[in-house]
Structure 1
Amino acid sequence: MHHDRALVEARLKRVLDERIRPAVHPESVPLSVGVWHAPGEPVPVEQGVAAPREPTAVGEAWGPPWSTSWFTVSGTVPRAWAGRTVEALLDLGFDENMPGFQCEGLVYREDGSPVKGLSPRNQWVRVGDPVAGGEEVRLHIEAAANPVILDYHPFLPTEQGDRLTADTVPRYRLARMDLAVLDRTVWELVQDLDVLGQLMAELPVQAPRRWEILRAVERALDAVDLQDVGGTAERARERLAGVLAAPAHASAHRISAVGHAHIDSAWLWPLRETVRKVARTTASMTALLEDEPEFVYAMSQAQQFAWLKEHRPEVYARVKKAVAEGRFVPVGGMWVESDTNMPGSEALARQFVHGKRFFLEEFGIETEEVWLPDSFGYSAALPQLVRLAGAKWFLTQKISWSRTNKFPHHTFWWEGLDGTRVFTHFPPIDTYNAQLSGQELAHAVGNFQEKGAATRSLAPTGWGDGGGGTTREMLARARRLADLEGSARVVFDKPAAFFEKAHAEYADAPVWVGELYLELHRATLTSQARTKQGNRRCEHLLHEAELWAATAAVRTGAPYPYEALDRLWKTVLLHQFHDILPGTSIAWVHREAAATYAAVAEELEGIVAQALATLAGDGSAGSTVVFNAAPHARGGVPAHGALPEAPPQAAPVPPVTSVPREGGGFLLDNGLLTVAVDGRGLVVSVYDRAAGREVLAPGGAANLLQLHPDFPAMWDAWDVDSFYRNTVTDLADAEVVVLDGDGTVRVERAFGGSRAVQRITVPAGERRVEFATEVDWRETEKFLKAAFPLDVHTERIAAETQFGHLYRPTHTNTSWDAARFEACAHRFVHVEEPGWGVALVNDSTYGYDVTRSGGADPGRPGTPPATGTTATVRLSLLRAPRFPDPRTDQGTHRFRYALVPGASVGDAVREGYRINLPERRVPGSAAVAPLVRVTGEAVVVSAVKLADDGSGDVVVRLYESRGGRARARLTADFPVSSAAVCDLLERRTGEATVDPEGGGLALSLRPFEIVTLRLGRV
């Protein structure tokens, strides 16, 4: 027998595609179809089921963007089909080559109870197994006409990303609405040939196993009568039984498959559509769990469970039952799969608080793994937060997307800022939408970096984002691959079971220290500035609202707004999802986000105002109560807790002088700093009088707005590529440079179709230069930065992250260093020489870059002596990508940032808080002492609140902010009955004792350690 390998493989593909797959459903009859096109937004299920239908048919167009159509299919099972398995095949007009990202459906019974979802690779609904014949079939389909936004080649700007701008042209045509017989034997033959064909293609040509499979496949194809596939399928399967029974090698890699459907909580669809995506997918997955006893399905994001509970209680009941059986597994322990670069300290902690608490209260489950496959890099603060939340494992896949450097591990210990380590796994299959294909499994085996030391990896398996999750075909593959020669062993498993086994065999895994930086998607730190500003403002207002409400509750007995704060926190946490806060969603999402942030801010301001009014008492006396929720302006001691008993007595402050400068511009002087603004409106000198040194690099100009072209190679809203730096326009021409009051210069510039107005201020008595920038932004595909060239020789900068800061190099010694050409900072970036530093603080930006500039080369003839290296720090202000939102950030934006010369890291921490937490003033006659006082300059309080359980206990969270050991004393200004150390969920983990000599709690903190204290009230 002649065995031409290529010929057999080509034969297999054609016979499968043209003969065997079509024979899976050998007989069919059409269903009658009626339709009702719902006006506007989706309607309740009972309304959709009951609405009158109009006749329609296969081939008819339906579905303008974002519309919903309710189809009803009806028919009778032929009596001749008695004893056979029958399915309804319902194709809404799917593109099978693009699971997800298009139309979807959810099937309901006549009584409105959900059956399962419809998606491109999951178009079947079981009618009977077996049928008796003659059954009447009537099903309703809630069909969502989500437009196809994503087209990879190229990314084209589209107006379809918002219902306000989308057109009304139908996008889909009904393709198939039939009742059909399912031939199980033919279906199993398809799975046999599919698995063997894919395995054969991945084995080396010289491998005997490949040729054994090839010969078996050829024999099976010979056994198939192409005119009677159903009648000969069993015979063909018998020819394959031998090669399918050959066991895997003892050393075969072990893959734990986990049923999975990565559902972005918003992205190329609005939040309301995610609610329905979750319902469709979970309906399908709970149905599949009933059919497949070995199947295990995992789902993250407590928010999505909560949506299901609220909007689809019937599906949620099925989920709860499957969770109780241990087969539908909540994972992740976070409210959403959030971005982890930009959320503030408390916000990232609350992701775990609200996520884990939901799973505990709803299911009695303590989730132990953090599941973040798709976020755009991972903060160095995460390991400590993971452990403080009661979890111990971490999973992501996204780092495999890095463009420059391949990450050296797949299983390792990840060490965070404070030295806490968490056992971490990156699935080497390099996808969170695995199909368990031969190509994927071969890649996982070859790619796995820990070969020889570890033997197993994990594979999240299933289509996401509306693709429907795991399919019965994937489960069929897993059954065949459980113990098959030439392949990795595959078994469906719970994530926790995988981690237990991986940890047990590889406890001495290598250690990676610091952030997990994604060398891609760096522009997510800047895109959609309004969304980022809304997040920052609401985070700090939540901090204030908790603080003031707790103070009012303890001092006056005022009711604490538990429900409101819980709801508002969850709203802010939802919007930290990794396609909302990063600015990578459609226009609809960001339009709604702006309105949501405004409403949240208004409600929080109301909570603060109510608490302050309660504390202030009778305002008729006309006195003023002053409080700044940031650390004190002097000494760095946090004044969190309540109102100081009296405004601090300030030393006499010299007035600010403002005089014209020779050659144009102005000279501003407050006795501490002398600032020169030239005729172009640029800051050309900042002289630190105390240090006797110039802050700016020789010849440099600070607060220089710079404009770059910004057209990345691929992902518009996501990426900024290094070549953007090749072209830059300095916005140095000013239309107006005028003195605008003592200590303030106003500068106005026009560029392109845009306009910028800046106010440069030197406040009295402060070592700080403030910049208030307003930009009417009308650019497209441009990147706007604000540059500060600093005369500081340093090899690293400190950038604030959650509960601390991390150091990043200013040089590009290695490819790893060079790849960090855009990075994240929260409220400050700090550069320092021994004994003297400079901080750049901000109220709403996250992206920054830093570069080193060298002096002239003294070895070259005719050049002056070298002047040493300096560091230029630039804040990223605005971008203008056109996909997926074609008008990203068009309009007016306001930014505040400040340069702080002579600043230590502690000063940077303080000034960062100051610019984000402005002073509050209310009229009143009551002086109220702070709830808690903390001594110890390095220790910052991140939260003061009442315990979430309603007990009335006061919860205080604090952290060491400078990266060193710290001693502190916390004193409560109310009777304390008990004190305990807690985890993030406010569960006691240890006792805290009051110092009998000095009173209060004596604390000793490690570098960047987070401590949560629970104080019982008498």
Structure 2
Amino acid sequence: MHDDRVLTEDRIARAVRDRIEPAIHWPTRPLRVGAWEVPDEPVGVAAALGADFHPARLGDRWGRPWGTTWFRFDATVPPDWVGRRVEALVDLGFDLPIPGFQAEGLAFTAAGVPLKGVQPRSIHVPVDAPPGGPVRFLVEAAANPDVAGDWSFRPTGMGEKATAPPGPLYLLRRAELAVWNETVWELAQDVAVADGLMRQLDVRDPRRHDLLRALERMLDRLDPDDVAGTAPDARAQLAAALGRPAHRSAHRIVAVGHAHIDSAWLWPVRETIRKVARTVSNALRLMEHDPRFVFACSQAQHYQWLKDHYPGIDAELRKRVAAGQVVPVGGMWVEPDANLPGGESMVRQLVTGKRFFLAEFGVDPAVGWLPDSFGYSAALPQLLRLAGARWFVTQKLSWNQRNRMPHHTFWWEGLDGSRIFTHFPPVDTYNAELSGAELAHAARTYAEHGRGSMSLVPFGHGDGGGGPTREMLAAAARTADLEGSPRVTLASPEEFFAAAQAEYPDAPVWRGEMYLELHRGSYTSQARTKQGNRRCEHLLREAELWCTTAAVAGRIDYPYDDLDRIWKVVLLNQFHDILAGSSIAWVHREAEQAHERCAAELEEIIAGAQSALLGPGDGEVAFNAAPYPRDGISALGARPRPRAGQNPVVARRDGDGYLLDNGALRVRVDARGLVTSILDVGCGREVVARGGAANRLRLHRDLPNRWDAWDVDEHYRRTAVDLMDTEGIAVVGGGVSVSRSFGDSILTQRLALGTGESARTVEFETVVDWHESEKLLKACFDLDVHAERYAAETQFGHVFRPTHRNTSWDAARFETCGHRWVHVGETGYGIALVNDSTYGHDVSRTSGPGPATTTQVGLSLLRAPLFPDPRADHGRHTFRYALVAGADIADAVRAGYAANLALRTVAGRGAVEPIVRVDHPALVVESVKLAEDRSGDVVVRLYEAVGGRAAGRLAVGTPLAAATQTDLLEREVSPTGLVAADRGGVAVALRPFQILTVRLRLDQGPAVPR
């Protein structure tokens, strides 16, 4: 019996491959082919219509890596094809098992109107010509190389045009005009569903044998010499088996058309623009034939690209949005990395994305949509709710290495206690095909059986694969009510969530971050991209603050358009494969250049606002955009530069080592350049663990199991070399300079002590000319504190993580993400490590002499992965980080801002009063700007930063006419943190980590510039 079953399955597979599928398009006629190779970067269809095409034929090789070839196809529809549906078939040389990551095309009419994409699983092009009539269409063919090398992830030069091999990559395999035999196609879909379901059922299940026997009868009635003629009879043999209804308790699946398209990854941004056009045009074609089909499309940037580059597709898309078939989801500008962007950046992802969808379509997306980001910060629930989202969906945690998420439908609770109803599709993919295996997997693994009964399945080939196909829609129709299968319904994400929440309102709660147990190297890879993002985030903060101050004073016009444009560049480059450092060299080169341009323009904007405020003068004025006073400078304002601060630093040779002393800290550096002692003079406390060191540079072998740029796997810890040899040590400029060389790299560090309010700070500047491969460089600190847990800054707050490895969940967090600081401490004493551009951290407990338990903190500075960019991070880098002794959480917050918002000094006179002030140390002003509606109102965003309740006052420098609490989109909401307002400011009372956005209407709005 078993052998008979296997033989029948083999017979089915061969019949489909060799008989049924070839008969779907038959008869055929060859197309005449012309080709025009674009000399360099892509051009529009208008240029192609006027180009000089040369004759081409099947078997011709085409396409330099990253090049574009336009093909022109001509034919005449045979007169005897009357009443038959005609399609063209174009195979650009596709690798069928992989739907994306290779050549792609977009077909245009002879008049230049986009038709549909041409991809490996969707090679047909509709033909609109009568029998005997002429056919002409063009295909813009992109020779995108397979950078992944069939997922072997070997180092490759394909990531840049300059390093890619010059020869053509692809072979034109097929160019035909054909009759589409709908009945044969329908038979193929019947067989696919029946066979797919049969193979998922247990061998003892009678339903399996029912399907198997029906498939056998189908094969017996199908004449291999007349497939088209016998297809109706063959279909009839399957009708009864495919007509049996599902059990009433069958799992319910809401299938949502989707095409996950990375805004850049193994291709540059310019190629993503074309991928979006190809995929959306495919979806629009499907909607012409199936009104049930709903396509969820995220990333406002993608819609903007269509508007800018493909107005025809954009116009058609807008009609389908209005009809409810195209559904904007996510509400963000792109699908960003959810760990690395700063708090205000995550706000602007939502604000910029949602404002676009509202302005362009009148749609306010209710579903947060981040299926592929590499973990999810605990700040997201509050941010999503404050932006008006009701639900959230993700998928990536199915990739966890060790622990499986215990729920698929749950409430996700964030830092502040905000909860959002969340779904984690048990199909475990965001590129489903609605195959029998996928549907069975979703039903089998769904964690909420007996409580909930439904799950979401996003279906469609992503990343250039073309999105949903007509075959997928056929599968959905056949599994709508089919015995042995989940019941599949085509619907929107909103319809799914409304039903799921109504069914299961008391779903369990998952609190805190959703940590991805994979891709931990993404906190460190491509340091220049991360550093550029961090710098631009803080420059944007400064630019908005000073431009608001100057506009309110009537000195300038607020640069709305410039700031909006710069924000959009920064937001695009926070896409999860750009900021994470997991893209090809081309992408990171462009990201670094974009950050440099943004930074330069922001510096000009800041200087212009400062100059307008201060006027000419020969004095020196210092200013600071940090939310706290620093070194005598009032926060958020400008003052004449103060005299040198207290705590002068002594730096001198001391025996075999060196001594740094500012009266608050006494630091010893030994002959190896290691910090062996940091004495907190005020309390007599030693910071460095006995026998340990601070700022010990450690080089690890870094050989991930698979995903080079993405992963740091735990075995890296077992191979480490401490960098002890020095090229030289000297006292330089009040600090100690240490030079080292190792491998092919050289490194210089400067150690110094802070002064004034920063007197308890040891500052480190590390300059590296890095030329290693498959290595990880860390700066390690052995600290004499007994820390059960540590705090790491995230957006608008911090999370606590254990330093121990009691559970598998704890052990999996061996490398974690922190923003500007991490803090370790015991009762009565703590230490903060702050940085200006570092995200990867490891924190662990160590055992010293005797029973003492101490804490080791490592900052991940640099990696050197070979894929997808074999030269990742090579070159010069500068890192600044600092240790703050005797610090509590509030000190860590303060020092983190100070490290990233340095004091600036400009020529000028007078002083500038802060436009707003707060009077509670836990209240942090994150953003000061003018309102998005250009009314002249001032918008202030602040939050509680230390994890407690904070009541205080937001004082305003200009008389206040009115104050309202808003959501992130600056729409008025019922006050939950704003207590009262008067002419001088606003009384606020915030919960732990609460974010408050206040809109201030001033008596004196922006005036005519002077």
Is TM more than 0.5 here?
yes
Tell me, in whole angstroms, the C-alpha distance in 1 between the residues paired with 2:434 and 2:982: 65
| 1:552 is the counterpart of 2:547 | no
SS at match of 1:55: strand
Whether the 8 Å contact between 1:279 and 1:308 is mirrored in structure 2 is yes
Which residue number corresponds to residue 500 of structure 1?
Answer: 498
Aligned CA distance change for structure 1 residues 998 and 50 (closer, same or farther; 3 Å) = closer
For residue 280 of structure 1, report the CA deviation from its aligned partner.
Answer: 0.6
Whether the 8 Å contact between 1:785 and 1:878 is mirrored in structure 2 is yes
Match of 1:896 among 876, 880, 887: 880
Which residue number corresponds to residue 921 of structure 2?
Answer: 937
After TM superposition, the structure 1 stretch with the greater mean CA deviation from structure 2, 214-223 or 921-930, is 921-930
| 1:8 is the counterpart of 2:1 | no
For residue 975 of structure 1, report the CA deviation from its aligned partner.
Answer: 2.3
For residue 647 of structure 1, report the CA deviation from its aligned partner.
Answer: 5.4
| 1:673 is the counterpart of 2:665 | yes
SS at match of 2:838: coil
What are the within-5 Å matches in structure 2 for residues 59-78 of structure 1? 59-78=59-78
What are the within-5 Å matches in structure 2 for residues 232-631 of structure 1? 232-619=230-617, 622-631=618-627
Whether the 8 Å contact between 1:640 and 1:944 is mirrored in structure 2 is no
Whether the 8 Å contact between 1:798 and 1:806 is mirrored in structure 2 is yes
SS at match of 1:958: strand
SS at match of 2:748: strand
Post-superposition CA distance 1:23-63 (Å, at most 9, x none): 11120000000010001100122001221100000100000
Post-superposition CA distance 1:605-652 (Å, at most 9, x none): 000000000011122xx22222121133569x99554325x55688x7
For residue 111 of structure 1, report the CA deviation from its aligned partner.
Answer: 1.1
| 1:844 is the counterpart of 2:837 | yes
| 1:57 is the counterpart of 2:57 | yes
Tell me, in whole angstroms, the C-alpha distance in 2 between the residues paired with 1:719 and 1:68: 33
| 1:1016 is the counterpart of 2:998 | no
Which residue number corresponds to residue 30 of structure 1?
Answer: 30
Runs (5+) with no aligned partner, structure 1 = 857-864
Aligned CA distance change for structure 1 residues 633 and 548 (closer, same or farther; 3 Å) = closer
Tell me, in whole angstroms, the C-alpha distance in 1 between the residues paired with 2:248 and 2:494: 24
Tell me, in whole angstroms, the C-alpha distance in 1 between the residues paired with 2:40 and 2:536: 31
Runs (5+) with no aligned partner, structure 2 = 1004-1010
Which residue number corresponds to residue 108 of structure 1?
Answer: 108
What are the within-5 Å matches in structure 2 for residues 611-690 of structure 1? 611-619=609-617, 622-633=618-629, 640-644=635-639, 653-662=646-655, 664-690=656-682
Post-superposition CA distance 1:88-144 (Å, at most 9, x none): 00111111111110000000111111000100000001214xx64112100011110
What are the within-5 Å matches in structure 2 for residues 151-166 of structure 1? 151=149, 154-166=152-164
For residue 701 of structure 1, report the CA deviation from its aligned partner.
Answer: 1.1
Aligned CA distance change for structure 1 residues 558 and 222 (closer, same or farther; 3 Å) = same
Tell me, in whole angstroms, the C-alpha distance in 1 between the residues paired with 2:227 and 2:150: 38
SS at match of 2:910: coil
2:770 alignment partner AA: W
Post-superposition CA distance 1:885-940 (Å, at most 9, x none): 01001000000000000011000000000010011111212322111111111000
SS at match of 1:530: helix
Which residue number corresponds to residue 725 of structure 1?
Answer: 717
Aligned CA distance change for structure 1 residues 691 and 197 (closer, same or farther; 3 Å) = same
Tell me, in whole angstroms, the C-alpha distance in 1 between the residues paired with 2:140 and 2:691: 66
Which residue number corresponds to residue 870 of structure 2?
Answer: 886
Whether the 8 Å contact between 2:624 and 2:633 is mirrored in structure 1 is no
Post-superposition CA distance 1:486-541 (Å, at most 9, x none): 00001111000000000000110000000000000000000000000000000000
SS at match of 2:973: strand
For residue 557 of structure 1, report the CA deviation from its aligned partner.
Answer: 3.7
Tell me, in whole angstroms, the C-alpha distance in 1 between the residues paired with 2:981 and 2:285: 62
Post-superposition CA distance 1:734-789 (Å, at most 9, x none): 111100022x0000000001001000001233110000000000100000000011
Tell me, in whole angstroms, the C-alpha distance in 2 between the residues paired with 1:476 and 1:544: 54
Which residue number corresponds to residue 861 of structure 1?
Answer: none
Tell me, in whole angstroms, the C-alpha distance in 2 between the residues paired with 1:25 and 1:345: 54
SS at match of 1:837: strand
Whether the 8 Å contact between 2:803 and 2:843 is mirrored in structure 1 is yes
For residue 247 of structure 1, report the CA deviation from its aligned partner.
Answer: 0.2
Whether the 8 Å contact between 1:259 and 1:297 is mirrored in structure 2 is yes
| 1:80 is the counterpart of 2:80 | yes
Whether the 8 Å contact between 2:978 and 2:988 is mirrored in structure 1 is no
Which residue number corresponds to residue 819 of structure 2?
Answer: 826
SS at match of 1:848: strand
For residue 153 of structure 1, report the CA deviation from its aligned partner.
Answer: 5.2
Tell me, in whole angstroms, the C-alpha distance in 2 between the residues paired with 1:172 and 1:919: 56
SS at match of 2:26: coil
Tell me, in whole angstroms, the C-alpha distance in 2 between the residues paired with 1:609 and 1:266: 33
For residue 973 of structure 1, report the CA deviation from its aligned partner.
Answer: 0.9
TM-score, normalised to structure 2, is 0.98
2:67 alignment partner AA: S
2:581 alignment partner AA: G
| 1:748 is the counterpart of 2:739 | yes
Whether the 8 Å contact between 2:689 and 2:848 is mirrored in structure 1 is no
Which residue number corresponds to residue 925 of structure 1?
Answer: 909
Which residue number corresponds to residue 711 of structure 1?
Answer: 703
Tell me, in whole angstroms, the C-alpha distance in 1 between the residues paired with 2:253 and 2:698: 50
SS at match of 2:621: strand
Tell me, in whole angstroms, the C-alpha distance in 2 between the residues paired with 1:634 and 1:281: 52
Which residue number corresponds to residue 757 of structure 1?
Answer: 748
For residue 698 of structure 1, report the CA deviation from its aligned partner.
Answer: 0.6
Tell me, in whole angstroms, the C-alpha distance in 2 between the residues paired with 1:192 and 1:956: 59
| 1:702 is the counterpart of 2:694 | yes
SS at match of 1:159: coil
Whether the 8 Å contact between 2:629 and 2:635 is mirrored in structure 1 is no
Whether the 8 Å contact between 1:638 and 1:934 is mirrored in structure 2 is no
Post-superposition CA distance 1:588-615 (Å, at most 9, x none): 0001111111000000000000000001
Match of 2:937 among 953, 970, 993: 953
Tell me, in whole angstroms, the C-alpha distance in 1 between the residues paired with 2:3 and 2:875: 68
2:822 alignment partner AA: V
Tell me, in whole angstroms, the C-alpha distance in 2 between the residues paired with 1:57 and 1:550: 63
Tell me, in whole angstroms, the C-alpha distance in 1 between the residues paired with 2:257 and 2:630: 55
Tell me, in whole angstroms, the C-alpha distance in 1 between the residues paired with 2:456 and 2:981: 53
Give the length in aligned residue pairs.
Answer: 1000
Query: RMSD in angstroms over aligned alpha carbons?
Result: 1.6
Tell me, in whole angstroms, the C-alpha distance in 1 between the residues paired with 2:216 and 2:906: 86
| 1:989 is the counterpart of 2:982 | no
Whether the 8 Å contact between 1:629 and 1:639 is mirrored in structure 2 is no
Tell me, in whole angstroms, the C-alpha distance in 2 between the residues paired with 1:716 and 1:979: 51
1:532 alignment partner AA: K
Which residue number corresponds to residue 1007 of structure 2?
Answer: none
2:722 alignment partner AA: D
Tell me, in whole angstroms, the C-alpha distance in 2 between the residues paired with 1:953 and 1:114: 44
For residue 1000 of structure 1, report the CA deviation from its aligned partner.
Answer: 2.0
For residue 1002 of structure 1, report the CA deviation from its aligned partner.
Answer: 0.8
Which residue number corresponds to residue 727 of structure 2?
Answer: 735
Quick one: percent identity of the two aligned structures? 58
Tell me, in whole angstroms, the C-alpha distance in 2 between the residues paired with 1:189 and 1:639: 76
For residue 976 of structure 1, report the CA deviation from its aligned partner.
Answer: 1.8
SS at match of 1:80: coil
Tell me, in whole angstroms, the C-alpha distance in 2 between the residues paired with 1:632 and 1:372: 34
SS at match of 2:90: strand
2:855 alignment partner AA: A
Whether the 8 Å contact between 2:966 and 2:972 is mirrored in structure 1 is yes
What are the within-5 Å matches in structure 2 for residues 52-201 of structure 1? 52-128=52-128, 132-151=130-149, 154-201=152-199
SS at match of 2:793: strand
For residue 547 of structure 1, report the CA deviation from its aligned partner.
Answer: 0.3
For residue 482 of structure 1, report the CA deviation from its aligned partner.
Answer: 0.2
